[in-house]
Amino acid sequence: MEQPGATAIAAAGSLATRTAEETRRIGRALGAAAHAGTLLALVGPLGAGKTELAKGVAEGLGVASVVNSPTFVLMNEHAGRLRFFHIDAYRLDDPEEAVAAGLFDDRQAAGVAVVEWADRLGDRLAADRLELTIQPAADGSDTRLIGWRASGAAHARLAAGVLADR
Ligand SMILES: Nc1ncnc2c1ncn2[C@@H]1O[C@H](COP(=O)(O)OP(=O)(O)OP(=O)(O)O)[C@@H](O)[C@H]1O
Ligand SMILES: [Mg+2]
């Protein structure tokens, strides 16, 4: 139970996937359950599976266009059940650059945003988010360990519904 006076609703957990399809399926479930203002912050090294998860989110939102990492732009936008904003902060040297480049758009509050390399945005990223840290297993297999932390009531509900029992 939430204590009276508690300021934040937070929830956290972890799960593992063994294939790219399994990671994508988690994304798909998140996309299907996402709400206006869902912010998924993806953290993890090159090749971890961030884009794989983002593609699943797009599928879950019913996005029909091809979703690839926004390599040469910071953000791609796709139409779906809710508008899908796909951001890749890999090339950012400075979070200020992101702000100057218009990375945070008011319209994101009405859509769903997925940010790859979210850690590069530092505290510029909204605190109210569901953060997923994807870590390849040390044994070199296809296993990915996914840790998650939800902030805010809506993200906590999303995580509880989709991630908690995996
Ligand atoms: N369990 C798994 N989950 C996700 N991807 C997996 C898994 N096992 C193998 N893979 C493979 O790992 C690769 C992940 O690539 P992806 O582009 O999603 O990584 P990324 O984190 O977005 O990397 P980058 O930082 O370069 O954008 C894909 O080739 C995918 O097929
Ligand atoms: Mg990627």
pLDDT range class, residue 5, cuts 50, 70, 90? very low
Is the CB of residue 138 below 6 angstroms from any atom belonging to ligand 1?
no
Say what the pLDDT of residue 99 is: 80
Q: What is the pLDDT of residues 50-98, one digit of tens each?
A: 999 999 999 999 999 888 876 667 889 999 999 999 999 998 888 888 7
User: Any idea which fold 14-118+129-162 has?
Assistant: Rossmann fold (3.40.50)
CA–centroid distance, residue 49 to ligand 1 (Å) = 3
Burial of 129 (0-12, 13-18, 19+ CB in 10 A): buried
Picking from 19-28, 37-46, 83-92, 135-144, which range would have the lowest pLDDT averaged per residue?
83-92
Stretch 134-150: mean pLDDT: 97
Ligand in closest contact with the CA of 86: 2
Nearest of 31, 139, 10, 13 to residue 81 by alpha carbon: 31
CA-proximal residue: ligand 1, atom 24 (nearest): 46
* Residues found in the chain: 166
Residues 67, 144 contacting (CB under 8 angstroms): no
Domain ranges of the chain: 14-118+129-162
